[in-house]
Each structure stands twice: as structure tokens, then as C-alpha cells.
Amino acid sequence: MIGNTSRQTSLFYFAFGKDALAITDQVLDPLDPLLQDPQLLQITSQALAKRRARSADFGRPSIAPDRLLRCLVLKHLKKWSFRQLENELRASLLYRRFTRFYEDRIPDFTSFSRTFGLFGKEGTAQIHARVVQLAQEQGVAKGAKLRTDTTAVETNIHYPTDSSLLADGLRVLTRSLRRIAEAVPVSAPVVVDHQRAAKRRVLEIVRAAKLLTSAGQQKLKTAYTKLLGLTGKVVKQAASVLADLKSGKLVADQSQWVTVLAAQVQLGHYLPLTQRVIAQTRVRIFQGQTHYPDKIFSLFEAHTVIIRKGKAHKPNEFGRLVRLDEVENGIVSQYQVPTTNQADQQQWQPALEQHVASFGHAPHLAVADRGFWSAANEKFAQDLGVKRVVLPGRGRLSESRAARQKERWFRKGQGWRSGIEGRISTLKHVFGMARACYKGEIGFERYVGWCVLTQNLAAIVRVKARQAQDSEPQCSSG
């Protein structure tokens, strides 16, 4: 059942309530009326109602929609983890007042984690769209100008190497096999823990990789052969146990059905991924084909891809490419996570189409860097109704093209385009978008979406505060 905050005020909170009302915050106080929007609360209620068939009107009360929404915004505004969110809410009267928990008990961080996951990709996109509508209604975002760019957002993984991926697969499969063996009373499989031997093989590979001699390369291949043998044994046993569970040869104790079912699901998920890691390791190490198609970089974030942006300090980034579309006053009107590593040229037309869908008209000025340039993209923007298209050409320019790019409006548009680099830096370093900490592909998009919409809320507050300051009468004395 969806909870609510309507309850009788506690007599014991009276003294603390006066202190809580006396505390002010320059960001949270202006955010309070924005988060009271009925449509935002309705979207949150719909997300809570999707947990079970009758979650809307049956069962224990969940976290109230307004509390959940405010906790999410506060978490991403402060770059906290779920544990930090719980601890800060317990300790601060200001945060209790903002999230409307007051004197009520703060939920456990695991409850926050599970409840936040109910939004999914679609719910997060709906809340972001409503925040952009609020910016339009308050005159903060009019959609007259658009600048777009792409950036790499890392997934929460360690640096991928073939040896570490093999060790990860061996560890996860062994853990699931051990749980199944403990829950099967008759004919339980004998699970041998090879993790210590695998760790030694990984250390041997690390030492041998530093040697560039032929003897060092031979040691490297020998260590990989042993590690592949250990992982192959575990993979073979996991496949055999899965087959026995499906055929009924292995029957779990009735009190352990849930444990066995969860372990069986994990085996079914990680077994094919580990087999892919074994195949790519054999091709890369023993055949020398480093450009292996459909390379896997993590067992736990299998959607991770490698991104090369040409950065000297970080030539390879492991995560996903994200496109950001920004309009006036720092409002990010759209964010998009492509399914593949698309070139920037392929993302120009979707950016303009989504802008028209959001604002109902084409922007007067549309700018991007030279990676987005092509004659077709420039023509598409002009046909859509964009008056000023600022896409710097690449290569040797013709005289007419060079003269056009030296015009005042073009150079001014290029100067405004550089501001999106600062917006990306703010999202990554202030709002924590440098590395997505939520699990899975849907969790990745959910994390990016909440970072963007929290930044938009902060931008609305900042612009409204500046407008209020400018509207104050100036002192004529002096």
C-alpha cells in the first residue's frame, strides 16, 4: 500500500519542530515548492504501485511518494550513497524537514535502494520531462537555443583484464555452486574452491606481463593456460549442475527452495558470460587477435563498452556514451544513452527531433562541435526551421565556407557552444555523473537521468533567485 504523510503531530516533536523551522538552506528551501508539483507526485505514486499487483491499496504502507521524491533529489544533490542518505537523515533536522520525515522512523538504506529501483528507465524519463515542463512554465527554458554534445560515463567496474574476468567468473560460479550443494541433502555435488589457486595464477600473469622478452611471454601463456583450466573445470561443473536441476536429478530441501532457485538463476546468468570470457581470452592471448568482436568487459555490467575520446590522460574509458542537449539557463532538456557507440554525426538529427517534441518548435540557434558536422546534418537542421546552424566544418574549407565561419553570429554561436563543456563538468563533479553506481543497463540510465534532473532543479532555483535579485529596487542613495 502506498504510504502518506498525513498523521497526527507528535507532542514530543514540538520542541524540535521549532528548531527545524528556524534552519534555512539556500538550495533546499526554494526546491520545496517545486517538489510539491501534483504531476511529479502522481508519477512517483505510479512507480510505487508497480511493485506488486495490489501495491496501490493492499499490504504494508510503503514510503510516501513525496518523501521518496525528496529523498531521491537530496541523494543526488549531495552525491551520497544509500548508507550516507540514511545516516544524514537520522542526524539532521534540516533534512528531516525537507524530506518530511519529521519525527518518524527513517527507513533502512536497503529499503531506499529497492524503492528507488521502482522508477526504472521510463519513470525517470517521465520525471525529467515534467521538470523540463516546469522550467518552461516558469520562463527558465524557452527552447530558442540548443547546444548538444556527447560524453563518456563510466560504469562501476574495475579495470578489465582477461585474467581478472576469468577470476571473477570462477568466483561467482563457485559461490552459486556452493549454495546449491549446501541446500541439496542427497547426491550433493562436490564443489572444490579454486579461488586461491586462481589468485596465484593472476599474480603470475601480472608479473609475466611486465616482461617483454620471449621467456616472459611464454610464462604469460603458461599462467593463462593454468587459469583457463581452473575456470574451465568450474564452468563444466556449473553446466552439469544446471542440467541436473532441470532434469530433476538434484532436488533441494523444501526449506531451501528459494536459495536454490536464486543460485540457479545466477548460474544461468553468469555461465554464458564466463564462457564468452574464456573464448575471447583464448583468441586474444594465444592467437594474438586483440580486436575481438563483441568483447565483454565486465561480468556484472555486461552492457559496458569501450570508449575512446582521444584524451591523453585517459585514452580508454569503460562505460556508455551519453548525449546531452542543453537549452537556455543551463537546463538539460534531453539525455540519451545510445545502444551502441554511435558517431556524433548520427546523434544530431535525434537531438533536433526530440527538441521539437519537447518545445513544439525548432530552436532559433542550434550548435555543436565539429564532430557533428556533415552536409546532411546541416541541411536537416535548416529544413526543420533552424535559422542559425553552427556546425564547424572539418578538413580543408572552401573560401565561402571559411568566410561563413568567420561571420560574427557563427563565432558567437561557437562561444556559446563551449558552455556545454562546463555543464558536463558540473554534472560529473558536482552531481556525481562521472561514474554510474546503479546496477545494470536500466540502473545506468536511471542514474544518469536522476543526475540530470537534479541538476535541472538546481538550475531552476538558481535562475529564479537571480531574477528575484534583479527585480529588487536599487538603492538610490549615495
Indicate whether 429 pLDDT > 80: yes
Phi, psi for residue 288 in degrees, rounded to 5: 75, 15
Indicate whether 296 pLDDT > 60: yes
> What is the overall mean pLDDT for the chain?
90
Q: How confident is the model at residue 14 (pLDDT cuts 50, 70, 90)?
A: low
What local confidence, expressed as pLDDT, does residue 250 receive? 83
What number is the average pLDDT over the span 402-412? Answer: 94
Quick one: cell of 218? 611464454
pTM here is: 0.91
* 247-269 tens-digit pLDDT: 888 888 888 888 889 999 999 99
- What are the start-end ranges of the H helices in 210-314? 214-247, 257-281
What number is the average pLDDT over the span 295-320? Answer: 90
Q: How confident is the model at residue 450 (pLDDT cuts 50, 70, 90)?
A: very high
Q: DSSP secondary-structure letter at 407?
A: S
Indicate whether 10 pLDDT > 80: no
* 139-157 tens-digit pLDDT: 999 999 999 999 999 999 9
Reported for 294-301, long-range contacts at CB under 8 A and 24+ positions apart, including other chains, are: 296/165, 297/157, 297/160, 297/165, 298/155, 298/157, 298/160, 298/165, 299/165, 299/168, 299/169, 299/172, 299/270, 299/273, 299/274, 300/157, 300/168, 300/439, 301/155, 301/156, 301/157, 301/439, 301/440, 301/444
444, 60 Cβ separation under 8 angstroms: no
Q: DSSP secondary-structure letter at 318?
A: E
Residue with cell string 556546425: 391
* 206-245 tens-digit pLDDT: 999 888 888 989 999 999 999 999 999 999 999 999 998 8
What local confidence, expressed as pLDDT, does residue 476 receive? 57
CA pair distance 261, 370, nearest whole angstrom: 52
Between these two residues, 469 and 476, which has the higher pLDDT value? Answer: 469
* 269-288 tens-digit pLDDT: 999 999 999 999 999 988 88
